[in-house]
Structure 1
């Protein structure tokens, strides 16, 4: 099919693309692919479109959307071959009744077209609150002592965290869903999590090893009491052989207690739970993949889904802890659903043919061809696991974290950007990941994250690493999921340089060389301070982020919003891939170049206020570039729109897990208190996820704020305005406490902070409406 198109038409979407937002002039193949190297090579047509998530969908700058309703691997030639038209082709017609189908989705606003498309593809249910706190993650946890060490050090260094990710390996065998841990009166050092150790060569720890765990119950209780929920990695392969000597030096080769064959493999074969006919040419059923050799679970088979459900539900039940109310609740509430793509990296040792799902495979569902299931397989995988999880733990209480995906995966939150290099390179470093997040958003993926710091095991000079980690952390703060994660070095992290496994591991040469800093180089360095600041800010922004997660579940609009999505009438936004709206009130511009403290930022038409300095930028006559600078690298460009209302947590919790689950009074959990930052305009409003309605209006020099709350709570309003003569609440004067300490000690008071320029007003907020005027 071909459609006339001129040079003025731009195209956005196609899944998660790392090269650009506007795909005009490119040829894109709809093939899900695991490609840990560079996602595209500029100027090489054969390497322009690698993608984990592919969606046969695009938005046009002419005000419509187009969806090819087919999972067959199609090709979208967006004026690459012919300058006056785009062409869409696929090798076969779908086997379903009616054959080929497509949807032309009306606008004319791009937000309307995207919302209508997600009504078809699926919108993400609201994830649990804890998912929006920072996560602890690593390519592997060598033993239980390292797990204890990581959690304890995050808490000692006052970094708020809500989730802990067990990436591979954690099981007895891939993928048998059984923790590699003993169950006895003492920790079993012959198992992965029964073993302890010392880490990072810190003097204080040299003679005090961190113990392993006696049992799964003890380990899950440890997470609960420290305010953490658990996410477990998985793939759709079940292994009959696992890597033990093919990749010498890999972390999983030194894990105690692993089995070469998954304990559930023979049962799966006997019951017909795997894709019946798949081979990689090795002469036996199954596929070589990066953890060995295994078989795909056949998600088109109801019996296979039930077989998997029994195993995952057992894992969830075995992770249960006793809450404050006395009920049992699973500590494991998420699955990192890795793999599921049809293709791998061709020529890799573990997958020489580059094929995971062949065109010759046969599935239980005989109504769909293998060609159709190459892209659809990941969707069936996500649908099955998310359904099992929510059935077991309840709606809105769990999430998956997927790498691949296609049309339909949008309905199963959430996902991440895959394996990227720790550098500033535009083809697979930080700049490309920012682009990928915005591209995914244009295809309806909203609950999205990435590996803060970059995943792949490649290193540049130490100072570049530090600058990169600082900038990637800042971007992570202003994305829905904030997870630090990286591939481990061949060298274990008990040497003098821990290679950035943890936020405190990025120590500069000057910090390490300073004798006065030697004993605290891991507890007080620039990278750690930066990570703590932005982890705290990300946590405080929970009411704001959760409101837009709720909006995504209702309308399909993403949390990350490319400028072009909101301002399609400003063609200059079409090429801008490193500036975006975070929700509706903030515009964020990550720093994506090394060792810079300034960058140009395109701000759309309107009036803007610098989030850090309160500098006002007037672009009311039209969008344009703004020269932003910061004296050091502690900040990134963030701007509030004129009239913005930003709800935040009044008190910083250690975790976003609820108090009932944590069941530990020593751990700070969220309260109902709100801190609302307001940038007054003529009239604006914001409805928080819990129904709290906030409006602000200005007229004749008077500012009026109305708050209607469904619950009684403490509230603090921070309103950017000159010092008023007085403040009234519901007609009664609010006492002024000009001194910061006096203000902090009062339940009801106001003050003007000359340093920040905000009028601060605090009071107990009752149920119902409250009016504040000054």
Structure 2
């Protein structure tokens, strides 16, 4: 592995002196006397792209990560020449490019340094493979913190750490295991209360060093390709993540059922076992929306087939499960069994769709079916073929979603766990070796799967889950964190990974609740379910090797605790769905580490455990056995304890009671939180009223509630309901005003207000300036609830 010390070796080439400059619209070209080229492109006022070429030429401009439908354009672009540098100014930042060596310095418009090159761009020739090893080093400012890089199982703040990006099947990984399944070369830097992001769009094996080897230097480098990175200005962390997600693509809304509780195991078979599991959920009244089929549903692990002995009539089984409110999701891996009697294999052979070695033979590797060949998903023709294969599973059999696994790609019984470097790929018309394609192989498989599921499930919305991913994969799928272990350490890792993934633009993610490998105790499972219901993707999954892991596997107390927390998730579905809509619209993370929530509070910069679910709910899991509570950091502001309804002022650490059936949970004062009634599955009952929990405060707060048909695409035609709610409270009164947007008519007409922390006795209520008798509102003094049977613009509550 290349070390930072080697950055100073004589083999490195640095840009020479500037010899020419050109400015065309949004792009500036700088050329030097030793053939280094810098193309600086202004995508937005806050987004600059730095792309370097060597030998007087630029590589082809192609990326799987960038979403070209994203917002582009700027309000201001001025370029000026000075004695030693060129200055590029937008309405947000100033960028100076040195004439001596192309090193860059970026300032905010007040002249405060945000990000500056140390050695800057440099490279060395790769004598083993050809091309260049490209490198970039930047100054690490005193006190600067770093966050991101996807699913890394390390502390949130990456200062003084080094990481590698090379998608790897890491069964039973541990804390600090690196590399892992996903490849997200994006990080956020935070210094002097100002945040920025760097996205290094290079798919080769790459490395990030955050002041690990040299305390004043942060660097990133790759073993091939070009130095192509994007600078994204905040100044707040949330805006950086939003800007990155805008750049690499925002997701579509999933169907609402995909945000419910999912149950999975390796493996539920035969059919009678699947039906038994489903029946038990309904018998015990534990809500559940999806059941998964692992590799054993297939005929000899051949993808797109069924084992007719285990599943004699899968279409009827799936239909019956759907009648009882269960969606069925099945696994599909990339390895295609070498079998001339297997139609999928034969089609791919006939059309030359499999990956090949450099000298011509097909890439052969052992996976679950035995010896397999592997489709080249970087070939658009192969992706189209692969998408078409889902007609049987989706359109004919009735599956509701597909689960992609083993797509790092993973290969068994070989030292490097994956393809050899010499495997060739089409790369959408830019032929390359596996060195370049490895980190996006899983992404392109997930893309092809998504396109197939979307085509055949239309007019409903697709649901796909993937294990391996590269930046931009959020456009196509959700993901989980891979093969974890049933330990307390892994409960902590899951908490960090979910936050880190959300900060890396991939919010729709979660862990195998309870742990995939080994068997959790009832206490660990209870604590994990309490955390897992607050992750955007919520699925229990286990290997089955050490016993079952359904909610009823443990004692009755654990079963009841599981039901309690799953019911809480279903109550909060409108809040979670609204949060997803914000993510899909604005690119904002669904889970917010405390540093995102309040970066100006230095206490948040190294916090790992606490996070904000959406915008207004604070969660902190209990991560140790035999605990009756824990110390946690309460962010600044006023918060309500969800369970006791007591208020607390934040900005400090506090002990919070949380027995086995509880989790430290707080709601920001002034919030209006929407709730649905408990259902056993999404759509089970007609919603007769929407509950709005109003957490009183003296002051102002904004909340929103987004709803639509919960599936389909009518919302894109304006058929949605968006409630913009404003709360204003004083000592003796409160006003809730509402502006409603969208053409969707909800199935309920009644709003049930639940006032929490109201310090006064209500004298009268006005709805749109008309006094309404409390009896007509069915006001209950004890519970402080009332019902309004029509839409309103302003609700005015006055105390005695």
TM > 0.5: yes
What is residue 48 of structure 2 aligned with on the other side?
none
What is residue 769 of structure 1 aligned with on the other side?
793
Distance 2:794 2:285 in 1: 35
Distance 1:543 1:647 in 2: 6
1:143 to partner: Cα distance: 0.5
What is residue 2 of structure 1 aligned with on the other side?
137
Q: Secondary structure at the match of 2:185?
A: strand
What is residue 718 of structure 1 aligned with on the other side?
754
Distance 2:228 2:511 in 1: 34
Is contact 2:169–2:417 with CA below 8 Å preserved after alignment? no
What is residue 544 of structure 2 aligned with on the other side?
488
The runs of 5 or more residues in structure 1 that have no matched partner are 42-47, 95-99, 182-190, 195-214, 242-259, 320-330, 345-349, 491-498, 508-524, 659-667, 737-746
What is residue 687 of structure 2 aligned with on the other side?
671
Distance 1:342 1:33 in 2: 8
What is residue 728 of structure 2 aligned with on the other side?
697
Please give the TM-score of this superposition, normalised by the length of structure 2: 0.76
Distance 1:298 1:570 in 2: 48
1:459 to partner: Cα distance: 3.5
What is residue 188 of structure 2 aligned with on the other side?
59
What is residue 336 of structure 1 aligned with on the other side?
403
Distance 2:215 2:762 in 1: 65
Q: Secondary structure at the match of 2:329?
A: strand
Of 223, 230, 239 in structure 2, the residue corresponding to residue 112 of structure 1 is: 239
1:732 to 2:757 alignment: no
1:272 to 2:352 alignment: yes
1:561 to partner: Cα distance: 0.9
1:271 to partner: Cα distance: 1.9
Distance 2:342 2:764 in 1: 68
Distance 2:548 2:621 in 1: 21
1:716 to partner: Cα distance: 0.9
1:290 to partner: Cα distance: 4.7
What is residue 655 of structure 2 aligned with on the other side?
627
Of 475, 482, 492 in structure 2, the residue corresponding to residue 411 of structure 1 is: 475
Cα displacement string for residues 294-345 of structure 1 (whole angstroms, at most 9, x for unaligned residues): 12211122222222122102221112xxxxxxxxxxx42211111221566x
Distance 1:292 1:572 in 2: 52
Distance 1:386 1:335 in 2: 8
What is residue 364 of structure 1 aligned with on the other side?
426
Is contact 1:734–1:750 with CA below 8 Å preserved after alignment? no
What is residue 455 of structure 1 aligned with on the other side?
516
Distance 2:307 2:763 in 1: 64
Is contact 2:241–2:589 with CA below 8 Å preserved after alignment? no
What is residue 685 of structure 1 aligned with on the other side?
702
Is contact 2:363–2:419 with CA below 8 Å preserved after alignment? no
1:443 to 2:443 alignment: no
1:750 to 2:779 alignment: yes
1:473 to partner: Cα distance: 0.6
1:304 to 2:402 alignment: no
- The aligned runs of 1:366-405 (5 Å cut-off) are 367-370=430-433, 371-394=435-458, 397-405=461-469
Cα displacement string for residues 381-417 of structure 1 (whole angstroms, at most 9, x for unaligned residues): 1221112222222377122111111111122231111
Is contact 1:599–1:629 with CA below 8 Å preserved after alignment? yes
1:166 to partner: Cα distance: 1.4
What is residue 4 of structure 2 aligned with on the other side?
none
Of 558, 573, 577 in structure 2, the residue corresponding to residue 546 of structure 1 is: 577
Q: Secondary structure at the match of 1:554?
A: helix
1:534 to 2:652 alignment: no
Q: Secondary structure at the match of 1:419?
A: coil
Distance 1:400 1:352 in 2: 29
Q: Secondary structure at the match of 2:762?
A: coil
Q: 1:549 to 1:560 in 2, by over 3 A?
A: same
What is residue 142 of structure 1 aligned with on the other side?
269
Of 217, 221, 226 in structure 2, the residue corresponding to residue 85 of structure 1 is: 217
1:641 to partner: Cα distance: 0.9
Q: Secondary structure at the match of 1:669?
A: coil
Tell me how many residue pairs correspond in the alignment. 635
1:562 to 2:598 alignment: no
Q: 1:39 to 1:116 in 2, by over 3 A?
A: same
Is contact 1:434–1:578 with CA below 8 Å preserved after alignment? yes
Q: 1:121 to 1:594 in 2, by over 3 A?
A: same
Distance 2:761 2:337 in 1: 69
Distance 1:223 1:164 in 2: 9
Is contact 1:78–1:86 with CA below 8 Å preserved after alignment? yes
Q: Secondary structure at the match of 2:295?
A: coil
Distance 1:694 1:633 in 2: 35
Q: 1:18 to 1:278 in 2, by over 3 A?
A: farther
What is residue 679 of structure 2 aligned with on the other side?
653
What is residue 516 of structure 1 aligned with on the other side?
none
Q: 1:284 to 1:707 in 2, by over 3 A?
A: closer
Is contact 1:17–1:51 with CA below 8 Å preserved after alignment? yes
What is residue 311 of structure 2 aligned with on the other side?
193
- The aligned runs of 1:85-104 (5 Å cut-off) are 85-94=217-226, 100-104=227-231
1:772 to partner: Cα distance: 4.4
Distance 2:256 2:341 in 1: 37
Distance 1:640 1:220 in 2: 39
Distance 2:702 2:186 in 1: 33
The runs of 5 or more residues in structure 2 that have no matched partner are 1-135, 707-720
- The aligned runs of 1:487-506 (5 Å cut-off) are 487-489=543-545, 499-506=547-554
Distance 1:648 1:724 in 2: 24
Q: 1:266 to 1:485 in 2, by over 3 A?
A: same
What is residue 253 of structure 2 aligned with on the other side?
126
Cα displacement string for residues 156-215 of structure 1 (whole angstroms, at most 9, x for unaligned residues): 10011111211222122434312323xxxxxxxxx1124xxxxxxxxxxxxxxxxxxxx2
Q: 1:628 to 1:13 in 2, by over 3 A?
A: same
Q: 1:437 to 1:286 in 2, by over 3 A?
A: same
Q: 1:237 to 1:474 in 2, by over 3 A?
A: same
RMSD: 2.2
1:671 to partner: Cα distance: 2.1
Of 222, 226, 233 in structure 1, the residue corresponding to residue 331 of structure 2 is: 233
Please give the TM-score of this superposition, normalised by the length of structure 1: 0.79
Comparing 633-642 with 477-486, which one deviates more in the overlay? Answer: 477-486
1:607 to 2:649 alignment: no
Cα displacement string for residues 239-297 of structure 1 (whole angstroms, at most 9, x for unaligned residues): 228xxxxxxxxxxxxxxxxxx98542233222212112289x9x974112355331221
Comparing 716-725 with 63-72, which one deviates more in the overlay? Answer: 716-725
What is residue 472 of structure 1 aligned with on the other side?
528
Q: Secondary structure at the match of 2:276?
A: helix
Is contact 1:173–1:261 with CA below 8 Å preserved after alignment? no
